[in-house]
């Protein structure tokens, strides 16, 4: 078996070697017929030249930092510019507001001084309402002179006038229609000075209005048409960014000044943003920077600056930066292409040579240039091609030696197969004789086993019969003892039956005595009933006094009736008892007859059991003799069977050894035949391998 396993392992090894060489042959001999797999196709589709990677790397290193810096600087610059512009615009608005406040304050002071002068110092205004015509005329002349003097001294006024409730009018010029001046009395005037845009038909004029000199019957109003040139000049001097809008608006949404003359209205959203009452604020609205200041008289000075105007110069700088980035990108591409060509040309040349090597041309070689990793790669390629040449030369030598050895192996395996055929025939003849001898020994063993079984069966049956006989004897003895007890029991039963008969006769006599007592009770019950009837009659005669006695008589009567019913029931039960007593007497007589018959049968059975016991004792003695003889036969059978088993064991071992030798011969024959086939296949594989190697150009 060990030899067979060794040959089997060598066969498996040769098979695996042949299969691997055959696969190599197929791979080498059919390189062009192999279809590209999906993975190869997808890898070719995803192929990106190293040149592109190098160019992309240069662009990334050159452009990405510039992009990040440009984006960050632009964002920071926009924020800083917006903040700075907001502060500068706010300061400008504050300064303009202060200038306008100064101008307005000076005008208000002039008006207040004038009103105080004509009302308190010279009392000119009050004298205009005097009853004295001369005084009144003189006062009107003086008031007119003072108005002319005021208008001449201060260029802030285009025209000044004093309007009285009595329809008197004192005016210095004719720029304002007189009927418009009387519109001041339609205004809600207090004691404070009022700034008003438009009065009557003079909607484009700015007026300052101040009530003067109140008394019971007199009242007047100072009205001055303001020259807005000073205010507009102050606002025009403010330098604004492109597309910016500067507005001066009163609380009634009237535009006093606009840097864009075409802008005559104010949007509601813009108005709600600036009309908050705050003295100064800055905010954004629809991509516009809104900065406004509220004057003391309620006017609002506001500037609306587009955020785009703030960043015009910044956008130009940003555009320049992007241009520089584009120029840098072009330079990066050129530099990347230069370096990429320097690196990729040797690699592309190496790839072409590797493609030729893949197709079997091992005569190629590349000339290394430079002193870098690509140079080392080219040198390694040359070394690899040289090693592959040496390997293929060695393979050719091995194939030639293998072909010679396979021929020798094939002739040796043929001779071994013939030898094993002859050995197999000889072993078959030996195996046939050994098999016949084993069959004869097997038949003898079977016969002895059958005889042993028969003896064993007889012995077992004898033991069973012996045990049955012993059991039967014991049972019969017990039955005899039981019959004796039955005889005693029968005698006791007969005696008890006689006693029962005597007791029943006595019970019958007692029933008769009870019957006589029942007759006596019937008589007593009748008499009691009669007495109860007589008592009821007497109670009825007694009338009311005998009602209690009548009740007692009725109860006695009821008791008599119950006694009578009970007597009847008792008599019926006594009748039943008498009937049962007669039946019992009849049964006792029958049982006595049966007991006598049983007593005779028991005596006969006891005699028969005595005879059976004697016969069983004789059978037990005979069975003991048979059992002893059977045991002697069993010993002899055991010795004979042991000898036959020894013969059969030796025969079986010989047959097994013969079969093992035959099987081993068959296995060795199969191994040799397999070796012969493998030798032929090995020869064919070596021929194919040699043809495949010839594909390479060495």
Half-sphere exposure of 687 (CA within 13 A, CB side): 8
- The tokens describing 59, both together, are 């662009």
- Are 246 and 257 spatial neighbours (Cβ–Cβ below 8 Å)? yes
Query: Do residues 319 and 74 lie in contact, with contact meaning Cβ atoms separated by under 8 Å?
Result: no
pLDDT > 90 in the chain, percent: 1
User: DSSP readout, 16-30?
Assistant: HHHHHHHHHHHHHH-
Scanning 117-261, the segments in alpha helix (DSSP H) are 124-127, 133-153, 178-181, 229-236
Instruction: With 0.85 as the threshold, say if the pTM is over it.
Output: no
Contact 157, 151 (CB under 8 A): yes
Is it the case that residue 673 has pLDDT exceeding 80? Answer: no
Q: Three-class SS of residue 222?
A: strand
Instruction: Band the pLDDT of 11: cuts 50, 70, 90.
Output: very low
For the residues 346-367, what does the mean pLDDT come to? 78
Structure tokens at 159: 């025209």
Stretch (H or E) spanning 438 = helix 373-542
pLDDT higher than threshold 60 for residue 13: no
* Sheet strand arrangement including 220-226: 169-171, 157-164, 220-226, 202-212, 194-199
Helix (H, G, I), strand (E, B) or coil at 159: strand
**With 50 as the cut, is the pLDDT of residue 282 above it?**
yes
Burial track 217-251 (b if 16+ CB lie within 10 A, e otherwise)? ebbbbbbbbbbbebbeebbeebebbeebbbbbbbe
By residue count, the chain amounts to 698
Tell me if 246 sits within 8 A of 259, measured CB to CB: yes
Which positions ≥6 away from 681 have C-beta within 8 Å? 18
Kindly report the number of other CB atoms within 10 A of residue 432's CB atom: 11
DSSP β-bridge partners for residue 169: 163
125-174: pLDDT as tens digits: 878 877 888 888 888 888 888 888 888 888 888 889 888 877 777 777 77
- What is the domain partition of the chain in residue ranges? 75-314, 384-515+574-686
**592 pLDDT higher than 50:** yes
Please provide the DSSP assignment of 248-299 as one string.
EE-TTS-EEEESSTT-----HHHHHHH-S--SEEEEE-SSEEEEEEE-TTS-
Higher pLDDT, 582 or 12: 582
- The two structure tokens encoding residue 647: 């013969």
Is residue 311 scored above 70 in pLDDT?
Answer: no
Both structure tokens of 497: 């039956």
Query: CA dist 266 to 241, 262, 320, 591, Å?
Result: 20, 11, 38, 147
3-state secondary structure 600-646: HHHHHHHHHHHHHHHHHHHHHHHHHHHHHHHHHHHHHHHHHHHHHHH
Q: What is the pLDDT of residues 519-554, one digit of tens each?
A: 777 778 778 878 778 878 877 787 777 777 777 777
Structure tokens at 680: 């032929």
DSSP β-bridge partners for residue 1: none
Using the Cα atoms of residue 367, residue 369, residue 371 and residue 372 in order, give the sign of their dihedral. negative
**Cα angle 691, 692, 694; round to 5:** 65
Give residue 384's pLDDT.
Answer: 84
What is the pLDDT at residue 37? Answer: 46
487-516 pLDDT, tens digit per residue, is: 777 777 777 877 787 877 777 777 777 777
Contacts 24+ apart (CB under 8 A), 390-395: 392/362, 392/693, 392/696, 392/698, 393/698, 395/689, 395/693
CB-neighbour burial class of residue 594 (10 A; exposed 0-12, middle 13-18, buried 19+) = exposed
Q: What is the pLDDT of residue 434?
A: 66
Closest CA to 303 of 260, 245, 255: 245
Structure tokens at 443: 């038949």
CATH numeric code, 384-515+574-686: 1.10.287.950
**Which of 254-258, 260-264, 591-595 has the weakest average pLDDT?**
591-595
Long-range CB contacts for residues 529-535, cutoff 8 Å, separation at least 24: 529/557, 529/560, 529/561, 529/564, 531/556, 532/556, 532/557, 532/560, 533/557
Give the Cα separation of 276 and 90 in Å (integer).
Answer: 16
Neighbours of 48 (CB within 10 A): 8
Residues 6 or more apart whose CB falls under 8 angstroms from that of 200 comprise 177, 179, 180, 181, 183
Selection from 395, 391, 408, 410 nearest residue 688 by Cα: 395
What's the Rg (C-alpha) of the chain? 77
pLDDT at 313: 63
- The sheet that has 245-249: what strands, in order across it? 255-258, 245-249, 300-306, 288-294, 280-284
Distance CA 13, CA 678 (A): 11
145-157 burial, b at 16+ Cβ within 10 Å, e below that, comes to: ebbeebbeebebb
> Three-state SS for 33?
coil
pLDDT band of 302, cuts 50, 70, 90: very high
Decide if pLDDT at 360 tops 60: yes
Confidence tier at 676 by pLDDT (50, 70, 90): confident
Mean pLDDT on 393-417: 75
Rounded to the nearest angstrom, the gap between the alpha carbon of residue 629 and the centroid of all alpha carbons in its chain is: 88
Q: What's domain 75-314's architecture? A: 2-Layer Sandwich (3.30)
pLDDT at 616 over 70: yes
CA distance 579 to 684: 126
Tens of pLDDT, residues 74-109: 777 777 767 777 788 888 888 888 988 898 899 889
In degrees and rounded to multiples of 5, residue 303 shows phi and psi of: -125, 130
Per-residue confidence band for 42, with pLDDT thresholds at 50, 70 and 90 = very low
Per-residue DSSP letters for 660-697? HHHHHHHHHHHHHHHHHHHHHHHHHHHHHHHHHHTTSB
């Amino acid at each position: 078996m060990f030899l067979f396993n060794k040959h089997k392992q060598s066969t498996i090894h040769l098979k695996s070697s042949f299969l691997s060489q055959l696969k190599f042959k197929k791979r080498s001999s059919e390189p062009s017929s192999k279809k590209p797999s999906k993975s190869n196709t997808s890898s070719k589709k995803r192929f990106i030249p190293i040149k592109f990677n190098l160019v992309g790397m240069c662009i990334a290193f050159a452009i990405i930092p510039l992009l990040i810096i440009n984006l960050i600087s632009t964002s920071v610059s926009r924020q800083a510019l917006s903040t700075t512009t907001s502060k500068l615009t706010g300061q400008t608005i504050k300064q303009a507001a202060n200038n306008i406040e100064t101008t307005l304050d000076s005008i208000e002071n002039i008006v207040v001084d004038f009103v105080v002068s004509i009302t308190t110092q010279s009392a000119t205004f009050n004298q205009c309402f005097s009853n004295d015509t001369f005084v009144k005329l003189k006062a009107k002349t003086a008031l007119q002179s003072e108005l002319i003097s005021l208008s001449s001294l201060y260029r802030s006024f285009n025209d000044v006038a004093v309007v009285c409730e009595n329809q008197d009018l004192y005016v210095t010029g004719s720029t304002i229609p007189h009927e418009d001046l009387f519109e001041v009395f339609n205004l809600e005037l207090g004691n404070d000075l009022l700034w008003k845009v438009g009065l009557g038909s003079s909607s484009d004029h700015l007026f300052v209005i101040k009530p003067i000199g109140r008394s019971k019957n007199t009242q007047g109003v100072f009205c001055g048409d303001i020259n807005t040139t000073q205010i507009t000049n102050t606002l025009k001097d403010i330098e604004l960014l492109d597309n910016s809008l500067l507005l001066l608006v009163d609380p009634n949404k009237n535009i006093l000044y606009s840097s864009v003359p075409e802008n005559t209205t104010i949007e509601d959203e813009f108005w709600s943003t600036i009309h908050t009452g705050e003295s100064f604020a800055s905010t954004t609205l629809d991509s516009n920077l809104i900065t406004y200041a509220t004057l003391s008289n309620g006017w609002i000075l506001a500037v609306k600056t587009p955020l785009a105007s703030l960043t015009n110069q910044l956008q130009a700088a940003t555009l320049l930066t992007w241009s520089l980035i584009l120029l840098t990108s072009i330079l990066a591409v050129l530099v990347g292409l230069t370096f990429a060509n320097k690196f990729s040309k040797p690699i592309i040349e190496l790839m072409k040579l590797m493609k030729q090597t893949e197709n079997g041309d091992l005569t190629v070689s590349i000339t290394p240039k430079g002193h870098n990793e690509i140079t080392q790669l080219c040198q390694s390629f040359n070394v690899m091609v040289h090693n592959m040449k040496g390997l293929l030369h060695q393979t050719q030598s091995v194939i030639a030696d293998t072909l010679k050895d396979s021929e020798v192996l094939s002739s040796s395996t043929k001779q071994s197969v013939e030898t094993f055929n002859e050995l197999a025939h000889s072993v078959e003849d030996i195996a046939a004789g050994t098999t016949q001898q084993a069959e004869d020994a097997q038949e003898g063993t079977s016969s002895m086993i059958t005889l042993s079984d028969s003896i064993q069966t007889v012995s077992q049956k004898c033991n069973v019969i012996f045990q049955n006989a012993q059991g039967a004897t014991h049972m019969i003895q017990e039955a005899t003892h039981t019959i004796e007890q039955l005889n005693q029991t029968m005698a006791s039963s007969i005696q008890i039956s006689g006693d029962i008969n005597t007791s029943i006769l006595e019970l019958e006599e007692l029933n008769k005595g009870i019957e006589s007592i029942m007759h006596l009770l019937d008589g007593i019950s009748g008499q009691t009933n009669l007495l109860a009837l007589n008592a009821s009659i007497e109670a009825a005669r007694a009338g009311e006094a005998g009602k209690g006695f009548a009740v007692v008589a009725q109860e006695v009567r009821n008791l008599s009736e119950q006694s009578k019913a009970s007597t009847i029931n008792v008599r019926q039960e006594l009748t039943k008892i008498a009937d049962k007593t007669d039946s019992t007497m009849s049964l006792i007589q029958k049982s006595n007859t049966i007991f006598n018959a049983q007593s005779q049968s028991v005596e006969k059975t006891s005699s028969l059991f005595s005879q059976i016991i004697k016969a069983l004792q004789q059978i037990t003695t005979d069975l003991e003799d048979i059992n002893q003889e059977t045991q002697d036969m069993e010993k002899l059978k055991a010795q004979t069977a042991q000898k036959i088993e020894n013969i059969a064991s030796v025969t079986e071992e010989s047959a097994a050894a013969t079969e093992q030798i035959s099987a081993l011969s068959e296995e060795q024959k199969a191994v040799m035949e397999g070796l012969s086939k493998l030798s032929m296949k090995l020869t064919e594989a070596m021929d194919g391998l040699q043809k495949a190697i010839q594909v390479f150009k060495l």
